[in-house]
Amino acid sequence: MNALQPWHIIILVLVVVLLFGAKRLPDAARSIGKSMKIFKAETKDLSGEGKAGETPAEPAETRQIPPAPAPSAHDQQVADLQRQLDELKKQQANDQPQKNAS
């Protein structure tokens, strides 16, 4: 007698549709499904961490920094332009006191 009857489920579905709207329900179901998939994957990763046969991650202290790439022609041009800009700033700074003195 106290079990869920089919008409209980129908009323529950109608209330949910009225509260959230028919347009938002598929999106909500999709997002719940994605969340459950992510949750399952994360719990599987946590339970599988201590398994034998896996190589432990290399500690941060022993990791090597990859060597810097060789400077390209573009980098060289940028450096040359920066030097020219610095020289122009120096010239402008030197010319400024002379103009004020006149």
Whether 76 is in a domain gets the answer: yes
Residue 41, pLDDT score = 92
Whether 61 is in a domain gets the answer: no
Whether 56 is in a domain gets the answer: no
Whether 53 is in a domain gets the answer: no
The total number of structural domains that make up the chain: 2
Whether 55 is in a domain gets the answer: no
Cβ atoms of 96 and 88 within 8 Å: the answer is no
- pTM of the predicted model over 0.95: no
Whether 62 is in a domain gets the answer: no
Same domain as 37, residue 79: no
Angle separating helix axes 24-47 and 6-20, nearest 10 degrees: 100
What's the token pair of residue 15? 């209330």
Whether 60 is in a domain gets the answer: no
31-48 pLDDT per residue, tens: 999 999 999 999 998 887
Q: What string of H, E and C letters represents the secondary structure of 48-94?
A: CCCCCCCCCCCCCCCCCCCCCCCCCHHHHHHHHHHHHHHHHHHHHHH
Query: Which domain range does residue 16 map to?
Result: 1-47
